[in-house]
Amino acid sequence: MMNLIPRSATRRTDRMDAVNLPTLWRELAAGVAEPAASKGLTVDLRMADDAVMVGDADALARVFRILLSSAVHLSARDTCITVSVHSE
């Protein structure tokens, strides 16, 4: 994966949390439900129940929230936004 932010610009954190991704994505989807519905969008979450990511929980939530909000903002009316998370 490409590093798009210079290392010097990143916030250093020692927080390492086990983040339950299905729970996080459900919360994020609920947060965009109203703007998505106003455009006729649906959000389809395809989640492995055991999907966990280790990292700063707040930072991960912030990044995923930006991605989902952007998807809602940029998607054509009456379409579906699909988020898939798999565990390995």
pTM: 0.81
Q: How much is the pLDDT for 68?
A: 98
Q: How much is the pLDDT for 87?
A: 84
Q: How much is the pLDDT for 10?
A: 55
Euclidean distance between CA atoms 32 and 20, whole angstroms? 19
Q: How much is the pLDDT for 14?
A: 74
Question: Position 18: which residue type?
Answer: A
Low-confidence ranges of the chain (pLDDT < 70): 1-13
> What are 9-28's pLDDT values in tens digits?
555 567 899 999 999 999 99
**DSSP notation for 13-64:** ----EEEEHHHHHHHHHHHTHHHHHHTT-EEEEEE-TT-EEEE-HHHHHHHH
